[in-house]
Amino acid sequence: MRGRLTVIGLGPGDPRWLTPAASEALASATDLVGYGPYLDRVPDRPGLRRHASDNRVELDRARFALDLASTGCDVAVVSGGDPGVFAMAAAIFEAVETGQPSWRGIDIRVEPGITAMLAAAARVGAPLGGDFCAISLSDNLKPWETVETRLRAAVAADFVVALYNPISRARPWQLGSALELVAEHRGPNTPIVLARAVGRPDECIRILALCDVDASMADMSTVVIIGASTTRLIAKPDDSAPYVYTPRFYGVRS
């Protein structure tokens, strides 16, 4: 008997941002597989088996989940945000491509979630209203030179850029280096959004000019949104944080 494997995006943290389809998949699962803190966000129920692992063993986790599904289990692999954005969906399919031929016959589904980039953008307005891209600053799976090349191309092309995995204890210098690179192409007043733990009780969102941003303001729970040359701020009458938006049009509007 062959089971099913569903890769689920839990969203950034607010349980109201979990999609109905993802909730249904969680309700039918016999086994949960994922990074421990993500599993902790799923309510327990009788008969549900949990299999927690460390955050840096994605491929091993994927193989374990596929093995479970091949025995007939209904497996839910959970990710924060959206599972297809720097998360477990790609690891699952990498394991399928390079692993046991029988895994290709498993019923594999991916349920989308709200990624941190979209949640952060919604909190401040519409900074992703024009063309944008997302780049992970982590060099665990790709060389830093590749990160730099992609970031340089993105800012030179005047995309809004969302930075994932901006800083950690093991690589505290990378965000600072990335901001220096951005400053070569963007003005000092370029709007920067630092959105930490969006949708969770410890949420913290700051809107700063590029010249006022310091790498120490971010951690691994932060997504950094770098405005384009067209990104604008709209002041509010109560002097609270402004709206941030990037117009849909580019250049001079006729």
Name the percent of the chain lying above pLDDT 70.
Answer: 98
Residues 117-245, CATH architecture: 2-Layer Sandwich (3.30)
Please compute the mean of the pLDDT values over residues 149-173 and round it to a whole number: 93
- Output the pLDDT for position 252: 57
- Please state the rounded mean pLDDT for residues 37-52: 93
Q: What is the mean pLDDT of residues 79-107?
A: 95
CA 64, CA 205: separation in Å to the nearest integer? 37
pLDDT at 254 over 70: no
Check pLDDT > 90 for residue 1: no
Give the tokens for residue 175.
Answer: 């965000």
Region 148-158 average pLDDT: 96
CATH superfamily for domain 4-114: Tetrapyrrole methylase, N-terminal domain (3.40.1010.10)
pTM of the model: 0.92
Q: What is the mean pLDDT of the chain?
A: 93
What mean pLDDT comes out for the span 191-204? Answer: 94
Residue 132 scores a pLDDT above 60: yes
Yes or no: say if 141 and 205 are a contact pair by the CB < 8 Å rule: no
Residue ranges, comma separated, of all CATH 3.30.950.10 domains in the chain are 117-245
Q: How far apart are CA 10 and CA 83, in angstroms?
A: 8
Question: 13: helix, coil or strand?
Answer: coil
Beta strands in the chain (DSSP E): 4-9, 31-35, 49-53, 74-79, 107-111, 125-126, 132-136, 160-164, 191-196, 204-209, 222-226, 232-234, 243-245
What is the arithmetic mean of pLDDT over 151-163? 97
pLDDT for the residue 253:
56
**Span(s) in the chain for CATH 3.40.1010.10:** 4-114
